[in-house]
Structure 1
Amino acid sequence: MAEHLLSERMIRVGHPEWRIREDVSWTSQTGRIVALELSNAGASPVILDGSAAAIWQILNDLGSAAEPTISQEVIARFHANRKDVERPLADFLARLEAARLIELEVRFTP
């Protein structure tokens, strides 16, 4: 039995994916996003424009996505270099997480 559990754990791999939190309301107009965490009465709206708004829209379009997938989408949309995208993207996603607008969800695949 222990061998079965061990082999099952070895096969199941978690894939962290970013997604917009369920308690966040947002709207867009003319390339600008305004997002607000609704579960915090003291939260202030966050305004995203330019590439920040594009990344938010990518997250919305994909529903949830791993960071490499988001990076690939940004590279494709902006015809950018991978090295110019990856670190700033990671920093931006961390700031959105700190603002409680997005969260990291781990999905397991068999």
Structure 2
Amino acid sequence: MLDAAEPVQADRVLRRKDELAVVDSTDRVAILDLDDLTCPPRVLEGTAAAIWQLVDGVRSERDICQELAEAYGAPFEVVADDVAAFLNQMVEAGLLVEAAVAVIDEGSGVEQ
């Protein structure tokens, strides 16, 4: 597994960059950055593919860790370290970006 450069950012919500070509299969994901053709295609397998498939712009990093911990029967803390490291690598590579999360004012029901 990966060494975490930073701790898990529990409330961080990421999404895939818009300009990607992604091919998903059951156990593998191929990614091509269409904006940066100097960036080599990436093929993710195993837990890396599982993490990538859960990044949807809605789930928080904590949610992703929880789902994977349950799916693999692993301690949350161990999963969190690996998820944080992988997500940070994908952000540094420009393949994942912060998702805009709408906040609804409970009093008025208006999006802020």
TM-score > 0.5, shorter chain as reference: yes
* Aligned-residue offset at 1:44: 0.7
Q: Which stretches of structure 1, 4 residues or longer, exceed 4 Å deviation after superposition? A: none
Structure 2 residue 81 is the aligned partner of structure 1 residue 72: no
TM-score (norm 2): 0.75
Aligned residue pairs total 94
TM-score (norm 1): 0.76
Preserved CA contact (<8 Å) 1:19 1:65: no
Structure 1 unaligned runs (5+)?
A: 1-14
Structure 2 residue 24 is the aligned partner of structure 1 residue 23: no
Preserved CA contact (<8 Å) 1:26 1:36: yes
Name 1:86's counterpart in structure 2. 80
Distance in 1, Cα, partners of 2:82 & 2:26? 24
Name 1:33's counterpart in structure 2. 29
More strand by share: 1
Name 2:101's counterpart in structure 1. 107
More helix by share: 1
2:52 aligned to which of 53, 56, 59:
56
When Rg is computed on C-alpha atoms for both structures, the one with the higher figure is 1
Paired-residue identity, %: 28
Structure 2 unaligned runs (5+)?
A: 1-10, 106-112
